Amino acid sequence: MTDRPWQKVNGTVDRGHQVASGSALDSPYPAGTIEMQTPFFRALGLDLSDYFPGTLNVSIGPSTFQLINPEFIFRAVEWTDRHPPEDFSFTRCRVLFQGSAYDGWIYYPHPETKKRNFQAPSTLEIIAPKIPGITDKCRIEVEYNPLAVVIC
């Protein structure tokens, strides 16, 4: 991924709703939403099977972000019968933590098609491999493609 014009943003890992990973005790999706969605994304051309089936929630506040040219946009994905289909966008990123870089994807369930568990506009949801030693409140950097993501 060295052919991309990477830029960096600093962030802090935040505890999310824990629905994506299925860790929330009150989650209606015990396997986690990412594990349930992965086969649908694979069928549409994005294989996430090598990544941790959950999201790393990274606060970049007070900044916010917008996906302006994501690599993948999936419309009307019917991944559950619990609510109407959802739209999702993805773009590549890298998580920089303790001297190592981890390839990942910014995961963006479009809020206009989402029923619950909304994120703040300053929170990047990232699908990445399991990162040793990373916990809530860790400071990290996220490298992103400024042709796909705008940090405001």
The total of other beta-carbon atoms located within 10 Å of residue 38's CB is: 19
Asked if the model's pLDDT at residue 16 lies above 90, the reply is: no
Tell me which residue range forms the domain holding 57.
7-151
**pTM for the model:** 0.89
pLDDT of residue 46: 98
pLDDT of the residue at 60: 97
145: in domain: yes
Q: Determine the pLDDT at residue 141.
A: 98
151: phi then psi, degrees, rounded to nearest 5? -100, 125
Tell whether 1 is covered by a domain: no
What is the residue-averaged pLDDT of the chain?
Answer: 89
Whole-number pLDDT of residue 116: 63
In a domain, 60, yes or no: yes
Quickly state the pLDDT bin for 19 (edges 50, 70, 90).
Answer: low
Alpha-carbon torsion angle 54, 127, 143, 86, nearest 10: -110
Record the tokens describing residue 73, joined without a space: 């946009």
Reported as a single tens digit per residue, the pLDDT across 37-74 is: 999 999 999 999 999 999 999 999 999 999 999 999 99
Question: Is the residue at 32 inside a domain?
Answer: yes
Is the residue at 26 inside a domain? yes
pLDDT, greater one: 3 or 64 = 64
State the pLDDT at residue 3.
65
Q: In this structure, what CATH number is given to the domain that contains residue 94?
A: 2.40.30.30
Domain assignment present for residue 2? The answer is no
Residue 20 · residue 108 · CB < 8 Å: no
Domain count, the chain: 1
**Domain presence at residue 78:** yes
Q: What is the mean pLDDT of residues 95-124?
A: 89
Element (H, E) at 109: strand 100-109
pLDDT(139) > 90? yes
Q: Examine residue 113 and state whether it is found in any structural domain, yes or no.
A: yes
